[in-house]
Amino acid sequence: MSPARFVAAAAGAAVVGGAALTGYGLCEARRYTLRRVDLPVLPVGARPLKVLHFSDLHVTPAQTRKLAWIRELATLAPDLVVDTGDNLAHREAVPAVCDALGPLLDVPGVFVHGSNDYFEPTMRNPLRYLLPDNGTRHTASPELPWRELSSRFGQAGWRDLTNRRDTITVRDVRFSFAGVDDPHLTYDRLDLVAGPADPDADVRLGLAHAPYLRVLDQYAADGYDAVLAGHTHGGQVCLPGGRALATNCDLEPARARGLHRHPADSRPGDPGSAWLHVSAGLGTNPYVRVRIACRPEATLLTLVPRQAQTPGS
């Protein structure tokens, strides 16, 4: 084969391969998946309790397939709902989000916001997340109706944990919560929630949209049993097998999604340590609806007694 033909063939193969990968990524972004995980944080002898954790919905009103899938989550009949932010991706998305959540809004719930609840998304190259964080934040974009979202959630009875602590009793289990505003925007006020977790609570949970180490360290040091977060999209564009390349924060890629320990080398029962559950989220930037080797997800966490210390699948 002549050099010219070789170059032409290679270029053609690259185009075909790129098109195939893009097609796969577009398809993967719509393969919504429910994960099931056991989280051993209940007192010994307590009955299991179901917690639905979702994050990063990034809803636009036209995403009918995703909205229908979210609506079906109510059939899981969770005892508690945890929403770790980035619900919005459109100025008119609040009614769509609330309609999709439907009966879940009647279940006890807690929430924090992420940057994409506050500011309208813009077109971005997902490959830039492989580069070091240069500190740029898109806070000059038009605001999204996050106040309306907070109001609707609050009217339904969900607790706003934006730089706040709160308690809820669910099926005779007393939960103590701490939550911060989005650490990615440095809106978190750890000084407002820092201090020992409620010693009288049965379960102590910390919430944040983005799992920055400063937040995880504080919650673990304060005695929270587990921290729930999102933001990473599980890496969104991953190597085969779901190996993340980036997290868009200072959490290492090996813990970009799923259940882990914090610190990473700690064991259950170690002082100053906690469980960490990072949701890979259900959405993407609406302008780049691609996920590779990282399906969109929500997680049904089954809380079990602490003596059962083996994470679920």
Separation CA 72–CA 55 (nearest Å):
16
Token pair of 203 as six digits: 């379960």
How do the domains of the chain map onto residue ranges?
31-305
**Distance (Å, rounded) from C-alpha 49 to C-alpha 26?**
35
Other CB atoms within a 10 A radius of the CB of residue 126 amount to 19
Q: Which token pair is 158?
A: 């969900």
Q: Tokens for 127?
A: 């490959």
Structure confidence at residue 97 (pLDDT): 98
Using DSSP's 3-state secondary structure scheme, residue 101 falls into: helix
160, two tokens: 């706003």
Cα 28 to chain centroid distance, Å, stands at 18
Which residue(s) pair with 40 in the sheet?
A: 304
- Count other C-beta atoms under 10 Å from residue 100's C-beta: 23
CA–CA gap between residue 114 and residue 183 (Å, rounded): 8
Facing residues of 278 across strands? 229, 258
282: left (phi > 0), else alpha (psi -120 to 50), else beta? Answer: alpha
Strand order in the sheet with 49-54: 33-42, 297-305, 49-54, 80-83, 109-111, 159-160
Cβ–Cβ < 8 Å for 202, 267: no
Which helix H or strand E contains 274, and what residues bound it? Answer: strand 274-278
What CATH code is assigned to 31-305? Answer: 3.60.21
Residue ranges of the chain with per-residue pLDDT less than 50: 6-22, 308-313
CA 128, CA 18: separation in Å to the nearest integer? 18
Output the pLDDT for position 133: 76
Q: Is the dihedral angle over the CA atoms 236, 240, 246, 251 positive or is it negative?
A: positive
Tens of pLDDT, residues 93-142: 999 999 999 999 999 999 999 999 999 998 876 666 666 777 777 777 89
C-alpha pair distances (Å), 229 with each of 96, 120, 298: 23, 21, 12
- Rounded Cα–Cα distance for residues 166 and 225 (Å): 15
Q: What is the structure's pLDDT at 279?
A: 98
Token representation of residue 272: 């100053």
Residue whose token pair is 């989220």: 281
pLDDT digits (tens, 9 = 90+) for 19-54: 444 456 568 998 999 999 999 999 999 999 999 999
Q: pLDDT at position 141, please? A: 87
